[in-house]
C-alpha cells in the first residue's frame, strides 16, 4: 500500500499532543511532548509517540529545526458493536458497512468502548489505525465489593470492574449499577454520572 494523505513537512517544534506524523513510512501520534534548551546549543525535542500500525509506544528525540512529515487521518463516526477473542466490530450507522479492527491495534482503548456507543475510528487510506477516545467516558459498574459501613476515612478507594472489563479505583460509596465518569487517558474515576 502506498503512503496516502501526505500533507507537508512540519518543524518538530510544532509537534504537540495529538499531532500525527510519519517516519520511515510508519504513522505515529504524539502522546507527550517535552522541549529542552541545551545552553548555547540547539534545543532537543523529546516525544513519546504511539506507532499507529503496531500500537507500540516509542520515545523519539529530535534536534530543533528537524522536520517530519505531517499526515492527515480520515475519521469516521462508527458504532461499536462488540468484540470477540481477536477482533472488535464496528458499523457505519448510515451505510451499515461493518469494520473489523484487531484487538492488537486497539490495545487498552477497547476497554473504554461501550457497546452501542459511537466512536471516531481513524483511517489512513483504507487501513484502520485505531479509535480516537473522548477525554472522558461514562460507564456502568458491573462488579463491586460493598463498602464497609461506618468507614468515614476520606480518600479510601476500592477496585470495581466496569461492563467493558476495565478495573477502576473508586470511592467506597460506588455500587453495582452506578454510572461513573472515567478519564480515558489515565483510567481514573472522576465522578458520578447524572445520566
Residue 1: inside a domain: no
Domain ranges, residue 168: 136-192
The pTM (predicted TM-score) of the whole model is: 0.74
Coil/strand/helix, residue 129: strand
Same domain for 18 and 40?
yes
As given in the structure block, the three cell numbers for residue 134 are: 473522548
Q: Output the tens digit of pLDDT for each of the chain's 195 residues.
A: 333 444 578 888 888 888 888 888 888 888 888 888 777 778 888 999 988 887 788 999 888 888 888 888 888 999 999 999 999 999 999 999 999 999 888 888 999 999 999 999 988 888 888 898 888 999 999 999 886 665 556 678 899 999 999 999 999 889 999 999 999 988 999 999 887
- Structural domain ending residue among the three candidates 71, 95, 118: 71
Long-range contacts, 1-6 (Cβ 8 Å, 24+): 1/125, 1/126, 1/127, 4/124, 4/125, 5/71, 5/72, 5/73, 5/74, 5/124, 5/125, 6/69, 6/71
Number of domains in the chain: 3
Residue found under cell 472515567: 182
What CATH number did the domain enclosing 147 receive? 2.40.50.140
Same domain for 106 and 118?
yes
Residue found under cell 461501550: 114
What is the pLDDT at residue 2?
34
Q: How far apart are the first and last CA of the chain?
A: 44
Amino acid at each position: 500500500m502506498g503512503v496516502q494523505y501526505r500533507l507537508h513537512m512540519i518543524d518538530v517544534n510544532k509537534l504537540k499532543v495529538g499531532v500525527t506524523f510519519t517516519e520511515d513510512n510508519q504513522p505515529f501520534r504524539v502522546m507527550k511532548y517535552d522541549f529542552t534548551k541545551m545552553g548555547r546549543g540547539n534545543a532537543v525535542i523529546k516525544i513519546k509517540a504511539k506507532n499507529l500500525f503496531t500500537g507500540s509506544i516509542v520515545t523519539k528525540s529530535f534536534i530543533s529545526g528537524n522536520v517530519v512529515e505531517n499526515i492527515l487521518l480520515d475519521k469516521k463516526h462508527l458504532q461499536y458493536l462488540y468484540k470477540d477473542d481477536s477482533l472488535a466490530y464496528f458499523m457505519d450507522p448510515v451505510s451499515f458497512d461493518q469494520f473489523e479492527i484487531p484487538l492488537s491495534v486497539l490495545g487498552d482503548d477497547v476497554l473504554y468502548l461501550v457497546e452501542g456507543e459511537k466512536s471516531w475510528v481513524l483511517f489512513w487510506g483504507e487501513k484502520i489505525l485505531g479509535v480516537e477516545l473522548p477525554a472522558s467516558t461514562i460507564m456502568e459498574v458491573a462488579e463491586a465489593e460493598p463498602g464497609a459501613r461506618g468507614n468515614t476515612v476520606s480518600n479510601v478507594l476500592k477496585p470495581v470492574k466496569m461492563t467493558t472489563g476495565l478495573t477502576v479505583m473508586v470511592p467506597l460509596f460506588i455500587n453495582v449499577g452506578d454510572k461513573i465518569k472515567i478519564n480515558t487517558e489515565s483510567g481514573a474515576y472522576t465522578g458520578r454520572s447524572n445520566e
